[in-house]
Amino acid sequence: MYQVNVKVQGTSVMLQHRFPIPTYEEMGSGGTKSTGAKDYREEWRQSLYVDDKNGVYQPANHFELAMVKAAVNFKVTGKRGKSYKDMVSANVVIDPEKILFGIENPKDLDTDADKPLYLDLRPVVIQRARVVRIRPAFKPGWELEFTINVLDNELPANMLQDILVLAGKTVGIGDYRPKFGRFSVVKFDVVK
Confidence of residue 40 (pLDDT cuts 50, 70, 90): low
With residue 92 as reference, give the H or E element that holds it: strand 92-95
Give the pTM: 0.89
Helix (H/G/I), strand (E/B), else coil: 86: helix
With residue 186 as reference, give the H or E element that holds it: strand 183-191
pLDDT exceeds 90 at position 78 = no
Distance in angstroms (rounded) separating the CA atoms of residues 136 and 175 = 10
Classify each residue of 80-90 as buried b or exposed e, where b means 16 or more C-beta atoms within 10 Å of its C-beta. Answer: eeeebbebbee
Structural domains of the chain sorted by starting position, each given as residue range(s) with its CATH number in brackets: 2-15+48-103+139-191 (3.30.70)
pLDDT exceeds 90 at position 82 = yes
* Per-residue pLDDT tens digits for 107-138: 999 999 999 999 999 998 989 999 888 999 99
With residue 26 as reference, give the H or E element that holds it: helix 24-27
User: How many CA atoms does the CB half-sphere of 147 hold within 13 Å?
Assistant: 10
